[in-house]
Structure 1
């Protein structure tokens, strides 16, 4: 119990002192997302990587390694650009790749704890949610 209190205190002090937030690497933030989303030949290998159905490129492995954490924390370690791009990709997959979307949901969120809000945002055409 004492350890928990100490950890909480250090966390509060770090927050108060403005310790920089930990982010995922931005090494791949400048890939041409429009090119990937407009070309299934480029998009599907990323999806298959995430589903363990195909080989992963370096950027695919990086993306895959953060899926669960990003989903559980609402992308807390994502930069603004990563959040925006993640939502763009999800919107594209929900609308244009329904079979893969179902497979991704089954693999990463079989109890539908996280994904319904994305489907709801797409169904409402919530531009603010996806362009934030």
Structure 2
């Protein structure tokens, strides 16, 4: 039998990924694991979603989620939602001069890629 608490309490466990097809409970499972690790094992946890439906925020009682980890009440649990466009923009701003960043942001290819490129959310989450 698999001992989830042993995995959550093991300091060598740094990342747990919940994946599967739509509607199987990935968000619910991730939130439950993160909450258990934070409350029962005292682990500092961040649960990250790429689902724009905002189910995670609702489940945790948060009004908003974005690229900044939000603390859930007075716990070691934090939650965030990866914003694909903002993440791309932050990479550009970090690695280019302001004038060049302005040109990149105005480029139609960049605009399309940074907001609709298939699989990008999953790639950035990793």
TM range (shorter): under 0.3
Greater RCO, CA 8 A, separation 6+: 1
Higher helix share: 1
Structure number with the higher strand fraction is 2
